[in-house]
Amino acid sequence: MKSRLTLLFLLIASITYAQDSYYSNQTQVGVGIGGNLVSVVGKDIKPTEISMRFRIHRHHTVQLFIPIYKQSESFKSNEISQVGLINTSVSTKKSLYGVGLDYDYALHTYSLLDFIVGLRAEFQLQKYRTDLTNKHPVTNNYINQELTHTEKKTSNYLISPNAGLRLNLGNLALDAKFLLTMLSKNGDTDGTIERRRGEQSNISSTTTEFSDKISNKFKLKPGVAFSVSFYL
């Protein structure tokens, strides 16, 4: 019985050592997908990151990643029976695209687990559009409507020192990282307010335009990122 347990222990140790030795001395190419659990840029935007990865002798990992996010939402007050008087509808469109570079180094490796530290740099283009319509009840054929269109465009620059753990399972790797992101953004907000008033046969319309600059808006925000990657 003891000899069988000894042989089993030696077999497990040999397999673990062989895996560790193999992945420690290989240069591999892989693909990955992940994301941050925290909305760093605001507006509840949490982009999905698609990455191409290069692992060099297990200790060095470089990834080129593309963050992507797109979402549309809408609301109409006439769909809710409790709401009366003004008929309001609003639609929002959020989008974000970018490119980033990430490098991390395995400070300590133990069996299939790595303790990693790294740095990532990222550039993003973000858009947020809102279309708001308020329609007052028609009284004596008199129409009163207000349409507001707002579009916010920003360029985001992110630098994120990070530390975390990586679990290596053959060709599969699972990452969990704590990030401290330094974000700088600039851009502008443009919009129009159109007012339509008058009787149905004679409606007058006035349009007001507005614009606002966003410059050097800096903030520091922590986050937690998870990703899974597969190496070829």
**DSSP per-residue codes, 110-121:** ETTEEEEEEEEE
Q: Which of 35, 76, 32, 66 is nearest to 223 (CA)?
A: 35
Looking up tokens 């490796």 gives: 109
Write phi, then psi, for 65 (nearest 5 degrees).
-130, 155
Q: Which of 61, 62, 58, 60 is nearest to 25 (CA)?
A: 58
Q: How far is it, in rounded angstroms, from Cα 111 to Cα 12?
A: 12
Q: Please give the residue range of the domain that contains residue 166.
A: 2-231
Q: How many domains does the chain have?
A: 1
Which pLDDT score is estimated for 15? 47
pLDDT tens track of the chain, all 232 residues? 556 555 545 444 444 444 555 555 578 999 999 999 999 998 889 999 999 999 998 899 999 999 999 999 988 876 554 545 778 889 999 999 999 999 999 999 998 999 999 999 999 999 999 999 888 887 777 778 899 999 999 999 999 999 999 999 989 999 999 999 999 999 999 999 998 888 877 888 888 998 999 887 789 999 999 999 999 8
* C-beta of residue 67 within 8 angstroms of C-beta of residue 98: yes
Encode burial over 17-34: b for 16+ CB neighbours within 10 A, e otherwise. eeebeebeeeebebebeb
